């Protein structure tokens, strides 16, 4: 009985680690799927806008998680995604660009260390 509980606890930790590991690729995949849904939606700009807003709300429901934006610089790398700024998101109707621009609120934990040194 005790070993079964320990096994379940260990399995849950493993699942949590895997979930954390895959959260960023899943976030990117969700945005890609939303992009395809917006592009394939027939109708007016308002129809596409509704698909975009609904999709962003669905994605936003999974935040905060372990999602980070991998902006690479010489000194810092990870920016944790805190929120999707829906009001700042823009829908594009041209075929030469991405169908939308999404604005995210990010947090860089290393900034606290930088500010503490000053």
Report the SS3 class of residue 101: strand
Query: Is the pTM for the entire model greater than 0.85?
Result: no
DSSP letter at 88 equals G
Stronger pLDDT, 73 or 58, i.e. the higher one:
58
Q: Quick one: pLDDT at residue 2?
A: 45
The CA distance from 48 to 68, in Å, is 27
Stronger pLDDT, 25 or 6, i.e. the higher one:
25
Q: Quick one: pLDDT at residue 93?
A: 83
Q: Does the structure show a pLDDT above 60 at 111?
A: yes
Residues in contact with 53: Cβ distance below 8 Å, sequence separation at least 6, in sequence order: 86
Q: Quick one: pLDDT at residue 57?
A: 92
Q: Quick one: pLDDT at residue 99?
A: 87
Number of domains in the chain: 1
The CA distance from 77 to 62, in Å, is 22
Stronger pLDDT, 105 or 79, i.e. the higher one:
105
> Which residues constitute the domain of residue 107?
2-117
Q: Quick one: pLDDT at residue 1?
A: 46
């Amino acid at each position: 009985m005790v070993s079964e509980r320990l096994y379940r606890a260990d399995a849950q930790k493993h699942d949590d680690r895997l979930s954390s590991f895959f959260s960023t690729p899943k976030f990117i995949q969700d945005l890609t799927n939303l992009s395809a849904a917006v592009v394939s939606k027939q109708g007016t700009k308002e129809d596409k806008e509704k698909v975009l807003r609904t999709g962003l709300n669905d994605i936003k429901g999974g935040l905060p998680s372990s999602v980070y934006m991998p902006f690479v610089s010489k000194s810092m790398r990870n920016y944790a995604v805190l929120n999707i700024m829906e009001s700042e998101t823009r829908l594009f109707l041209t075929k030469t660009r991405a169908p939308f621009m999404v604005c995210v609120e990010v947090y860089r934990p290393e900034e606290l260390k930088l500010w503490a040194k000053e």
